Amino acid sequence: MITVEVKILQYTFHFRELSWREEGSLKFPKGEDRLRLILSHAMTQVSGLAVATREEAMKVLLAIPSAVIQRMFVIYKGNLPNPRRFATTGLYKAPEPGNLIKVIAEVEQRRDDIMDKVEREMEQKFGRKEIEETLAQERQMLKNSKMRGVSKPSTDERFGIQPPRDKNDAS
């Protein structure tokens, strides 16, 4: 526990460091001196005599003039170590919303390009007619399963972009 020693005339006052929670929870009744109240909470000893309660400390401090109390408070606060400050590092910095939309559009475009390439390779390998038959079979299986286990596609409205239209779509 950190203690601060304040010597005034033949008396030596010892004050402990109050935590920020203690200082924040102090209630200041109307009409009482705030500096005396803070010092009474922090006081631990007077010239080697232990101070057991806040009331005893307040009795001792009430006998001291307010100008001396102010000086004691300045010495007390000045001799305390600097409060520790904590900072966070490496916080996630979200991209700008406009940039996010562009990135999503680029990813979608790359995905469409890859799918177009795969479709062309499949056409070359198997022929257009066989691919259409396979797609029709897949659609029929999906229809027969009554869409069990199929998740709904996410809408692009929340990203503020429209999906690219299919090149073969006539509407």
Q: H/E element holding 43?
A: strand 43-46
* Cα→Cα distances 19→22, 26, 44, 63, Å: 5, 11, 15, 26
Do both 75 and 113 map to the same domain?
no
Q: Which of 21, 48, 79 is the last residue of a domain?
A: 79
The reply to whether 107 falls in a domain is yes
Amino acid at 110: R
Q: Which of 85, 26, 15, 25 is nearest to 51 (CA)?
A: 15
Domain that holds residue 11: 3-79
Q: Using CA atoms, how far apart are residues 132 and 148, in angstroms rounded to an integer?
A: 23
The reply to whether 47 falls in a domain is yes
**Residues contacting 3, CB < 8 A, separation 6+:** 14, 15, 16, 17, 44
pLDDT tens series, the chain, 171 aa: 678 888 888 888 888 888 888 888 888 888 888 888 898 888 888 888 888 888 888 888 888 888 998 998 898 888 887 777 777 778 888 778 788 888 889 999 999 999 889 888 888 888 878 888 888 898 888 888 877 776 776 665 655 556 566 666 554
Model pTM above 0.75: no
Q: Using CA atoms, how far apart are residues 66 and 74, in angstroms rounded to an integer?
A: 12
Residue-wise DSSP of 90-106: S---PPPHHHHHHHHHH
Q: Which of 79, 106, 126 is the last residue of a domain?
A: 79
| The two three-digit tokens of residue 153, written as one number | 């596609």
